[in-house]
Amino acid sequence: MAKYLDQAREVMRVEAEGITALLDQLDADFDRAVDMVLACSGRVIITGIGKSGIIGQKIAATLNSTGTSALFLHPVEAMHGDLGLVDARDVVLAISYSGETVELNLLLPSLKNRGAGIIAMTGNANSTLAGHGDAVLKVAVPREACPLGLAPTASTTAALAMGDALAVVLLNCKNFQAADFRRNHPGGSLGERLKVKVSEVMLTEEQIPLIAVERPLTEAVVVLNERNLGAVLIMAGENLLGIITDGDIRRLVSRGDTLAMRTIEDVMTKAPKAIDDQLLAADALSIMQRHEITFLPVRNQAGHLVGALHLQDLLGKGEFRFMV
């Protein structure tokens, strides 16, 4: 059995090597590609054939779900009428590792004639496809995971990673938020989670990691470890004073301090971000995204602490809890 595991690990090493190789290939053309899409008043038309076409379909799906309108156009179907989908408002992302795919390259002059901008994604910067590109996304890999060097493996993984990089950069440029994602996923499990109120998914009562402000800092660390939610809320009676996170403790230790040298008040963040229990889970996710946090105290309309919300409760890791 070990021989199969060794082979599997080698495939993953080769594919990881391929993605890492992309870092040195990123250049001004990536910025140019992003600017082309941002300036585009139409859609991103993605085209490719074979395995590249399958990767293109996935990239199109990712773009659509993250705020960039896209569709996949098969090169052969394009040459038999579907070219009518493309006009000068569009940007075309053409994918071919070799850059010499005949069916795709036959399409390129027609795309140019229609006034569409072309982003070429290829492993060959000197190819026909690259020559037609207004921007070239280079995705060359050192080797394929296939021992014959024939089946696209590391190269398709690299193309997929480059597509994800493009989608995420565009998402950030457009300030795409969790609520926007929810609108694009009304039928998905994540969309369903984000449509409910915070009160339906929050931790309550004994589930909330709490500690009194007058307790030793060491006890706060014990609560952090026991609850394993990355944070503990600091209380003065029924009033929420602050929050201590795993990161706060790591930073304390990295400075050379010891837990005995500090109090809870020394370490906690005062007046932490919180959310009303009647808002939507999508609103909570937006707050977490905006402030780069994973844990939110929950208050009722009277301002009293009634729960807490962890990112995993929104994204569905483990059991998705509802109050009953």
Same domain, 268 and 213: yes
Domain of residue 274, CATH code = 3.10.580.10
For residue 320, what pLDDT is reported? 38
For residue 319, what pLDDT is reported? 39
Same domain, 25 and 161: yes
Return the higher-pLDDT residue of 284 and 123: 123
Average pLDDT, whole number, for the chain?
A: 88
For residue 184, what pLDDT is reported? 64
For residue 185, what pLDDT is reported? 60
For residue 321, what pLDDT is reported? 41
Domain of residue 154, CATH code = 3.40.50.10490
Is residue 95 a part of any domain in this protein? yes
Same domain, 32 and 57: yes
Is residue 30 a part of any domain in this protein? yes
Is residue 322 a part of any domain in this protein? no
Q: What is the pLDDT of residues 265-280, one digit of tens each?
A: 998 999 899 999 988 8
Same domain, 23 and 137: yes
For residue 191, what pLDDT is reported? 62
Rounded mean pLDDT of 57-72? 91
Residue 151: pLDDT band by 50, 70, 90 thresholds?
A: confident
Q: 79-88, 116-125, 163-172: which has the minimum mean pLDDT? A: 79-88
Same domain, 27 and 119: yes
- Specify the number of domains making up the chain: 2
Rounded mean pLDDT of 53-81? 91
Whole-model pTM: value is 0.61
Rounded mean pLDDT of 291-305? 89
Residue 323: pLDDT band by 50, 70, 90 thresholds?
A: very low
The span from the CA of 52 to the CA of 289, in Å, is 32
Is residue 183 a part of any domain in this protein? no
283 beta partners = none
| Range from 75-79, 166-170, 256-260, 263-267 that averages highest in pLDDT | 166-170
pLDDT at 1 over 60: no
Same domain, 34 and 161: yes
The span from the CA of 241 to the CA of 254, in Å, is 25
Final residue before a domain boundary, out of 127, 144, 176: 176
Is residue 267 a part of any domain in this protein? yes
Beta pairing class for 117-122 and 91-95: parallel
For residue 52, what pLDDT is reported? 95
Same domain, 208 and 83: no
Return the higher-pLDDT residue of 126 and 278: 126
Residue 33: pLDDT band by 50, 70, 90 thresholds?
A: very high
Same domain, 76 and 161: yes
Is residue 74 a part of any domain in this protein? yes
Return the higher-pLDDT residue of 184 and 227: 227
Supply the Cα-derived Rg of the chain in whole angstroms: 25
The span from the CA of 233 to the CA of 220, in Å, is 9
Final residue before a domain boundary, out of 152, 176, 200: 176
Q: What is the pLDDT of residues 190-219, one digit of tens each?
A: 666 677 788 888 888 788 899 999 999 999
pLDDT at 17 over 50: yes
Task: For the chain, report the end-to-end CA distance as a whole number of angstroms.
Answer: 47
Is residue 23 a part of any domain in this protein? yes
Domain extent for 100: 2-176
The span from the CA of 319 to the CA of 6, in Å, is 33
Is residue 97 a part of any domain in this protein? yes
Q: What is the pLDDT of residues 204-263, one digit of tens each?
A: 878 889 999 999 999 999 998 888 888 999 999 888 999 999 888 888 888 888 888 889
pLDDT at 324 over 60: no
Same domain, 156 and 255: no
Same domain, 74 and 101: yes
Torsion of CA 114, 165, 189, 208, to 10 degrees: -150
Same domain, 119 and 213: no
Final residue before a domain boundary, out of 141, 176, 211: 176
For residue 121, what pLDDT is reported? 98
Same domain, 246 and 162: no
